[in-house]
A and B are shown apart, each in its own frame.
Chain A
Amino acid sequence: MNIFRLAGDMTHLASVLVLLLKIHTIKSCAGISLKTQELYALVFATRYLDIFTDFISLYNTTMKLIFLGSSFSIVWYIRNHKIVSRSYDKSQDTFRHYFLIIPCLLLALLVNEKFTFKEVMWAFSIYLEAVAILPQLVLLQRTRNIDNLTGQYVFLLGAYRALYILNWIYRYFTETHYVHWITWVSGLVQTLLYADFFYYYFESWKNNKKLQLPA
């Protein structure tokens, strides 16, 4: 565990906390894409199939449980909570899940570390995580007034990915035989998807203006 990896995980955790804060305290999910949240739940469910069979560390198991629990409860809140669900605008959140799920599944069947159920599911989860933010980014573009918490949520998610890249660079130079093409390429694609958002996020921050993405 290096400082970049820890900072990445903590940023990821912070993004989830910001979203839970918005949902729990403000009782609103306005501007949040249910599609993206459902994809994340699927990402964690398929990636952490090893949670009860393989042990890495207490830290690892705890974080897995947190990400599984939080992602499924966020989906539950948006879909079923009496007050929160009212702020969900279905007509704006139109991205189709299967446009992302099916290509990722096919790619996972072709490109994986080993052709076993667990490894194919793991590769699928890596590919799906890379593109799971797309429905959220599309929704942001359609939202005229992006509130601060939503902006911070997406910013923290992007920052988590950028820190993971630093972690890989660090591990590549400090560990022997540390080469992971699947995670590297997907992680790079995932981080690049945030580039446009980052640009406007920093612009709005610099000029002290409300965040708005050009349509």
Chain B
Amino acid sequence: LKVVDGHDEL
């Protein structure tokens, strides 16, 4: 599992 800052909206 990696933490991303790309698509953080739903």
Number of interface residues of A (CB under 8 A): 19
- Top-6 shortest CB links A-B: A54-B4, A55-B1, A56-B8, A55-B3, A63-B10, A54-B2
Number of interface residues of B (CB under 8 A): 9
Bound-complex Cα distance A52 to B1 (A): 7
B4: shortest Cβ distance to chain A, in Å? 4
| Chain A contacts to B: CB under 8 angstroms | 5, 9, 12, 47, 50, 52-56, 60, 63-64, 67, 113, 122, 164, 167, 183
| Chain B contacts to A: CB under 8 angstroms | 1-4, 6-10
B8: shortest Cβ distance to chain A, in Å? 5
15 CB contacts below 8 A, A to B, read A12-B10, A50-B4, A50-B7, A53-B1, A54-B1, A54-B3, A55-B2, A55-B3, A55-B4, A56-B4, A63-B10, A64-B10, A67-B10, A122-B7, A183-B9
Bound-complex Cα distance A53 to B6 (A): 13
B7: shortest Cβ distance to chain A, in Å? 6
Highest count of chain A CB atoms <10 Å: which of B1, B4, B10? B10
